[in-house]
Protein backbone atom coordinates (compact mmCIF):
# COMPACT_ATOMS: atom_id res chain seq x y z
CA UNK A 1 0.00 0.00 0.00
CA UNK A 2 1.58 3.26 -0.98
CA UNK A 3 4.75 3.51 -2.89
CA UNK A 4 8.05 2.72 -1.22
CA UNK A 5 9.66 5.90 0.09
CA UNK A 6 12.38 5.86 -2.51
CA UNK A 7 11.44 9.29 -3.62
CA UNK A 8 13.68 10.98 -1.09
CA UNK A 9 16.79 9.24 -2.36
CA UNK A 10 15.96 10.05 -5.94
CA UNK A 11 15.59 13.68 -5.04
CA UNK A 12 19.15 14.00 -3.74
CA UNK A 13 20.74 12.40 -6.75
CA UNK A 14 18.58 14.49 -9.02
CA UNK A 15 19.61 17.62 -7.16
CA UNK A 16 23.26 16.73 -7.63
CA UNK A 17 22.67 16.16 -11.32
CA UNK A 18 20.94 19.48 -11.67
CA UNK A 19 23.75 21.25 -9.88
CA UNK A 20 26.37 19.63 -12.07
CA UNK A 21 24.50 20.47 -15.25
CA UNK A 22 23.88 24.02 -14.11
CA UNK A 23 27.55 24.41 -13.27
CA UNK A 24 28.49 23.22 -16.73
CA UNK A 25 25.99 25.68 -18.14
CA UNK A 26 27.73 28.49 -16.29
CA UNK A 27 31.08 27.30 -17.56
CA UNK A 28 29.72 27.49 -21.08
CA UNK A 29 28.26 30.90 -20.50
CA UNK A 30 31.17 32.55 -18.75
CA UNK A 31 33.56 33.08 -21.69
CA UNK A 32 30.77 34.69 -23.71
CA UNK A 33 29.85 36.85 -20.77
CA UNK A 34 33.45 37.92 -20.42
CA UNK A 35 33.72 38.82 -24.08
CA UNK A 36 30.49 40.79 -23.98
CA UNK A 37 31.54 42.60 -20.85
CA UNK A 38 34.90 43.61 -22.27
CA UNK A 39 33.28 44.88 -25.43
CA UNK A 40 30.95 47.13 -23.50
CA UNK A 41 33.49 48.59 -21.09
CA UNK A 42 34.99 52.01 -21.73
CA UNK A 43 38.74 52.22 -21.71
CA UNK A 44 39.01 54.42 -18.67
CA UNK A 45 37.22 51.92 -16.50
CA UNK A 46 39.28 49.04 -17.88
CA UNK A 47 42.61 50.75 -17.35
CA UNK A 48 41.83 51.49 -13.75
CA UNK A 49 40.57 48.04 -12.99
CA UNK A 50 41.26 45.35 -15.58
CA UNK A 51 39.88 42.63 -13.39
CA UNK A 52 36.21 43.00 -14.23
CA UNK A 53 33.50 40.63 -13.20
CA UNK A 54 30.56 42.95 -13.14
CA UNK A 55 29.84 45.86 -15.42
CA UNK A 56 30.87 49.16 -13.96
CA UNK A 57 29.92 51.36 -16.86
CA UNK A 58 28.57 50.59 -20.25
CA UNK A 59 29.78 52.25 -23.38
CA UNK A 60 29.47 51.57 -27.06
CA UNK A 61 32.87 53.07 -27.83
CA UNK A 62 34.37 49.81 -28.95
CA UNK A 63 31.51 49.08 -31.28
CA UNK A 64 31.64 52.55 -32.74
CA UNK A 65 35.34 52.22 -33.38
CA UNK A 66 34.81 48.81 -34.87
CA UNK A 67 32.24 49.98 -37.34
CA UNK A 68 34.21 53.03 -38.35
CA UNK A 69 37.77 51.92 -38.61
CA UNK A 70 37.97 48.30 -39.56
CA UNK A 71 36.90 46.14 -42.40
CA UNK A 72 34.04 44.57 -40.51
CA UNK A 73 31.57 45.86 -43.04
CA UNK A 74 33.60 44.35 -45.85
CA UNK A 75 33.52 41.14 -43.86
CA UNK A 76 29.76 41.14 -43.58
CA UNK A 77 29.33 41.93 -47.22
CA UNK A 78 31.72 39.24 -48.40
CA UNK A 79 30.38 36.54 -46.13
CA UNK A 80 26.82 37.38 -47.10
CA UNK A 81 27.75 37.07 -50.76
CA UNK A 82 29.40 33.74 -50.11
CA UNK A 83 26.41 32.51 -48.16
CA UNK A 84 23.75 33.67 -50.61
CA UNK A 85 25.46 32.18 -53.62
CA UNK A 86 27.07 29.22 -51.92
CA UNK A 87 24.22 27.70 -49.99
CA UNK A 88 21.81 27.35 -52.94
CA UNK A 89 24.60 25.66 -54.89
CA UNK A 90 25.29 23.40 -51.94
CA UNK A 91 21.64 22.45 -51.65
CA UNK A 92 21.27 21.79 -55.34
CA UNK A 93 24.33 19.55 -55.60
CA UNK A 94 23.53 17.67 -52.42
CA UNK A 95 19.86 17.11 -53.22
CA UNK A 96 20.42 16.09 -56.82
CA UNK A 97 23.31 13.76 -56.10
CA UNK A 98 21.64 12.36 -53.02
CA UNK A 99 18.55 11.59 -55.02
CA UNK A 100 20.42 9.94 -57.86
CA UNK A 101 22.46 7.79 -55.52
CA UNK A 102 19.31 6.64 -53.79
CA UNK A 103 17.74 5.37 -56.98
CA UNK A 104 17.71 1.77 -58.03
CA UNK A 105 20.78 0.54 -59.74
CA UNK A 106 21.74 2.24 -62.98
CA UNK A 107 24.87 1.63 -65.03
CA UNK A 108 27.76 3.23 -63.23
CA UNK A 109 26.01 3.74 -59.91
CA UNK A 110 28.58 1.73 -57.98
CA UNK A 111 31.39 3.67 -59.65
CA UNK A 112 29.90 7.05 -58.85
CA UNK A 113 29.21 6.04 -55.29
CA UNK A 114 32.76 4.82 -54.90
CA UNK A 115 34.18 8.04 -56.35
CA UNK A 116 32.14 10.10 -53.91
CA UNK A 117 32.94 8.06 -50.83
CA UNK A 118 36.62 7.80 -51.73
CA UNK A 119 36.98 11.55 -51.28
CA UNK A 120 36.36 11.03 -47.60
CA UNK A 121 39.25 8.64 -47.38
CA UNK A 122 41.88 10.40 -49.37
CA UNK A 123 42.69 13.80 -50.75
CA UNK A 124 45.67 15.37 -52.41
CA UNK A 125 46.45 18.02 -49.85
CA UNK A 126 46.51 21.84 -49.90
CA UNK A 127 49.14 22.36 -52.54
CA UNK A 128 47.48 20.36 -55.30
CA UNK A 129 44.22 22.12 -54.51
CA UNK A 130 45.98 25.45 -54.57
CA UNK A 131 47.55 24.70 -57.94
CA UNK A 132 44.22 23.50 -59.32
CA UNK A 133 42.40 26.63 -58.22
CA UNK A 134 45.16 28.70 -59.75
CA UNK A 135 45.03 26.82 -63.03
CA UNK A 136 41.27 27.16 -63.19
CA UNK A 137 41.75 30.90 -63.01
CA UNK A 138 39.81 31.18 -59.79
CA UNK A 139 42.44 32.84 -57.63
CA UNK A 140 41.19 36.03 -56.06
CA UNK A 141 37.69 35.24 -57.22
CA UNK A 142 34.82 34.58 -54.88
CA UNK A 143 34.08 31.52 -56.97
CA UNK A 144 37.10 29.78 -55.57
CA UNK A 145 35.63 29.82 -52.09
CA UNK A 146 32.13 29.06 -53.32
CA UNK A 147 33.09 26.16 -55.54
CA UNK A 148 35.76 24.43 -53.49
CA UNK A 149 33.25 23.54 -50.78
CA UNK A 150 30.29 23.13 -53.09
CA UNK A 151 29.34 19.80 -51.59
CA UNK A 152 29.88 18.08 -48.28
CA UNK A 153 30.04 14.33 -48.72
CA UNK A 154 28.78 13.62 -45.23
CA UNK A 155 25.63 15.70 -45.72
CA UNK A 156 25.27 14.05 -49.09
CA UNK A 157 25.17 10.64 -47.47
CA UNK A 158 22.63 11.83 -44.92
CA UNK A 159 20.42 13.06 -47.74
CA UNK A 160 20.84 9.89 -49.75
CA UNK A 161 19.86 7.78 -46.76
CA UNK A 162 16.79 9.88 -46.22
CA UNK A 163 15.73 9.53 -49.84
CA UNK A 164 16.24 5.80 -49.60
CA UNK A 165 13.85 5.63 -46.72
CA UNK A 166 11.00 7.11 -48.74
CA UNK A 167 8.76 4.21 -49.72
CA UNK A 168 8.76 3.53 -53.47
CA UNK A 169 4.99 3.46 -53.45
CA UNK A 170 5.13 7.25 -53.40
CA UNK A 171 6.34 7.40 -56.93
CA UNK A 172 4.56 4.45 -58.38
CA UNK A 173 1.50 6.27 -59.62
CA UNK A 174 3.68 8.96 -61.12
CA UNK A 175 5.98 6.59 -62.95
CA UNK A 176 3.02 4.68 -64.29
CA UNK A 177 1.81 7.93 -65.73
CA UNK A 178 5.15 8.17 -67.49
CA UNK A 179 6.88 10.77 -65.34
CA UNK A 180 10.63 10.86 -65.83
CA UNK A 181 13.22 10.89 -63.05
CA UNK A 182 13.52 14.65 -62.95
CA UNK A 183 9.83 15.12 -62.47
CA UNK A 184 9.80 12.44 -59.80
CA UNK A 185 12.64 14.25 -58.14
CA UNK A 186 11.10 17.69 -58.14
CA UNK A 187 7.44 16.86 -57.66
CA UNK A 188 7.62 13.93 -55.28
CA UNK A 189 10.91 13.40 -53.53
CA UNK A 190 11.92 16.98 -52.87
CA UNK A 191 8.70 17.90 -51.06
CA UNK A 192 8.88 14.70 -49.05
CA UNK A 193 12.46 15.38 -48.04
CA UNK A 194 11.77 18.74 -46.44
CA UNK A 195 12.98 17.72 -42.95
CA UNK A 196 16.42 16.59 -44.04
CA UNK A 197 16.75 19.43 -46.54
CA UNK A 198 15.92 21.98 -43.88
CA UNK A 199 18.55 20.48 -41.64
CA UNK A 200 21.36 20.43 -44.14
CA UNK A 201 20.40 23.90 -45.28
CA UNK A 202 21.12 25.09 -41.77
CA UNK A 203 24.34 23.08 -41.60
CA UNK A 204 25.57 24.53 -44.88
CA UNK A 205 24.59 28.06 -43.83
CA UNK A 206 26.56 27.76 -40.61
CA UNK A 207 29.52 26.23 -42.44
CA UNK A 208 29.52 29.10 -44.93
CA UNK A 209 29.29 31.67 -42.17
CA UNK A 210 32.28 30.12 -40.42
CA UNK A 211 34.45 29.68 -43.50
CA UNK A 212 37.90 31.24 -43.28
CA UNK A 213 40.57 28.78 -44.37
CA UNK A 214 40.03 28.64 -48.13
CA UNK A 215 39.43 32.36 -48.23
CA UNK A 216 42.77 32.95 -46.58
CA UNK A 217 44.44 30.80 -49.20
CA UNK A 218 42.70 31.99 -52.32
CA UNK A 219 41.54 35.55 -51.75
CA UNK A 220 44.17 38.23 -51.61
CA UNK A 221 42.16 41.25 -52.63
CA UNK A 222 41.26 43.70 -49.93
CA UNK A 223 37.66 44.20 -50.92
CA UNK A 224 36.70 40.55 -50.64
CA UNK A 225 37.54 39.37 -47.17
CA UNK A 226 35.13 37.15 -45.26
CA UNK A 227 34.02 38.08 -41.80
CA UNK A 228 36.01 35.39 -40.01
CA UNK A 229 39.25 36.46 -41.68
CA UNK A 230 38.58 40.08 -40.73
CA UNK A 231 38.01 38.91 -37.19
CA UNK A 232 41.27 37.01 -37.24
CA UNK A 233 43.12 40.08 -38.43
CA UNK A 234 41.58 42.25 -35.76
CA UNK A 235 42.30 39.81 -32.97
CA UNK A 236 45.89 39.24 -34.03
CA UNK A 237 46.72 42.93 -34.08
CA UNK A 238 49.17 43.50 -31.28
CA UNK A 239 48.96 47.13 -30.35
CA UNK A 240 47.39 47.75 -27.00
CA UNK A 241 45.96 51.19 -27.52
CA UNK A 242 44.11 52.43 -30.52
CA UNK A 243 43.33 55.99 -31.30
CA UNK A 244 39.85 56.74 -32.49
CA UNK A 245 40.18 58.69 -35.67
CA UNK A 246 37.63 61.44 -35.47
CA UNK A 247 37.53 62.18 -31.77
CA UNK A 248 41.10 61.34 -30.84
CA UNK A 249 39.88 59.42 -27.85
CA UNK A 250 41.95 56.44 -26.92
CA UNK A 251 40.38 53.05 -26.94
CA UNK A 252 41.68 49.79 -25.82
CA UNK A 253 42.40 46.97 -28.24
CA UNK A 254 40.85 44.18 -26.21
CA UNK A 255 37.52 45.97 -26.16
CA UNK A 256 37.51 46.33 -29.91
CA UNK A 257 38.61 42.74 -30.38
CA UNK A 258 35.79 41.45 -28.21
CA UNK A 259 33.34 43.75 -29.95
CA UNK A 260 34.41 42.17 -33.23
CA UNK A 261 33.88 38.73 -31.72
CA UNK A 262 30.41 39.61 -30.45
CA UNK A 263 29.39 41.12 -33.74
CA UNK A 264 30.55 38.04 -35.65
CA UNK A 265 28.74 35.74 -33.26
CA UNK A 266 25.56 37.72 -33.13
CA UNK A 267 23.66 36.31 -36.12
CA UNK A 268 24.33 32.75 -35.02
CA UNK A 269 23.49 33.57 -31.43
CA UNK A 270 20.22 35.15 -32.42
CA UNK A 271 19.06 32.47 -34.83
CA UNK A 272 20.28 29.37 -33.08
CA UNK A 273 17.88 28.97 -30.15
CA UNK A 274 14.81 28.97 -32.34
CA UNK A 275 16.31 26.65 -34.94
CA UNK A 276 18.10 24.37 -32.56
CA UNK A 277 15.61 21.55 -32.72
CA UNK A 278 15.96 21.31 -36.50
CA UNK A 279 19.68 20.79 -36.10
CA UNK A 280 19.16 18.14 -33.49
CA UNK A 281 16.34 16.43 -35.27
CA UNK A 282 18.42 16.30 -38.40
CA UNK A 283 21.32 14.62 -36.66
CA UNK A 284 19.04 12.12 -35.04
CA UNK A 285 17.39 11.45 -38.37
CA UNK A 286 20.70 10.91 -40.00
CA UNK A 287 22.19 8.91 -37.16
CA UNK A 288 19.24 6.57 -36.89
CA UNK A 289 18.99 5.95 -40.57
CA UNK A 290 22.69 5.61 -41.29
Partner 1 sequence: MSDFGTRVGLLKPRWAGANLTGRQSGLRQRLFKARYIYLLLLPGLVYYLFFHYLPMYGILMAFKNFNANLGIWGSHWAGLTHFEYIFSDPSFQRAFRNTLFISMGRILFELPFPILLALLINELREGRSRRILQTLFTFPHFLSWVIIGSIMLNLFGDQGIVNMMLSSLGLGKIRIFSSSDLFRPFLFFSNIWKESGWSSIIYLAAIASIDVEQYESAAIDGITRRQKMWYITLPNILPTVVILFILAVGNAMNAGFDQVFNLYNGAVLDMGDIIDTYIYRITFQGPTDFSFSTAVGLFKSLINFALLIAADFASRRLSGKGLFH
Of residues 37-66, those binding partner 1 (CB under 8 A): 38, 50-53
Kindly state the number of chain residues that form the binding site for partner 1, as judged by CB under 8 A: 94
Q: Which is nearer to partner 1, 248 or 270 (CB)?
A: 270
The least CB distance from residue 112 to partner 1, in Å, is: 7
**Which of 60, 67, 73, 115 is close enough to bind partner 1 by CB under 8 A?**
115
DSSP assignment of 25-38? HHHHHHHHHHHHHH
**Which of 74, 81, 116, 166 is close enough to bind partner 1 by CB under 8 A?**
116
**Which of 47, 55, 67, 92 is close enough to bind partner 1 by CB under 8 A?**
92
Listed residue (260, 43, 223, 241) closest to 141, CA to CA: 223
- 28 secondary structure, DSSP code: H
Part in contact with partner 1 (CB under 8 A); list of ranges 67-75, 170-178, 193-201, 279-287: 279-287
- Distances in Å between the alpha carbon of 199 and those of 46, 155, 165, 284, 285? 43, 9, 16, 11, 10
Q: Where are the beta strands (DSSP E) in the chain?
A: 241-243, 250-252
- Residue 106 makes contact with partner 1 by CB under 8 A: yes
Alpha carbon distance 102, 95 (integer Å): 10
Q: Which is nearer to partner 1, 191 or 248 (CB)?
A: 191
3-state secondary structure of 226: coil
CB 226 within 8 A of CB 72: no
The least CB distance from residue 253 to partner 1, in Å, is: 10
Listed residue (193, 111, 120) closest to 151, CA to CA: 120
The least CB distance from residue 190 to partner 1, in Å, is: 12
Q: Which is nearer to partner 1, 64 or 232 (CB)?
A: 232
Part in contact with partner 1 (CB under 8 A); list of ranges 66-74, 80-88, 190-198, 203-211: 203-211
| Site for partner 1, residues 122 to 161, rule: CB under 8 A | 122-129, 131-132, 136, 147-148, 150-151, 153-154, 157
Q: Which residues does 99 contact at the CB level (< 8 Å), separation at least 6? A: 159, 160, 163, 185, 189
Listed residue (235, 236, 214) closest to 225, CA to CA: 214
- Residue 181 makes contact with partner 1 by CB under 8 A: yes
Alpha carbon distance 39, 53 (integer Å): 13
Q: Which is nearer to partner 1, 205 or 224 (CB)?
A: 205
| Site for partner 1, residues 68 to 87, rule: CB under 8 A | none
CA 240 from chain center: how many Å? 31
The least CB distance from residue 285 to partner 1, in Å, is: 9
- Residue 220 makes contact with partner 1 by CB under 8 A: no
Q: Which is nearer to partner 1, 17 or 245 (CB)?
A: 17
3-state secondary structure 231-267: HHHHHHCCCCEEECCCCCCEEEHHHHHHHHHHHHHHH
The least CB distance from residue 27 to partner 1, in Å, is: 7
Amino acid sequence: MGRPIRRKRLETSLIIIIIVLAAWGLIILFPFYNALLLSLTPREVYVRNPFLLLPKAISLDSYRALLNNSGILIGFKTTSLILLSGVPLNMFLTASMGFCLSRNSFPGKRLVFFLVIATMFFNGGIIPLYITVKNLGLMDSLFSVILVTAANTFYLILTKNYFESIPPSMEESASIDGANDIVIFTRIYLPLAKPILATILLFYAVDRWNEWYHSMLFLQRLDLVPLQVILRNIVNATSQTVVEVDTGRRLFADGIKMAAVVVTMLPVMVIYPSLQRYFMKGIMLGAVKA
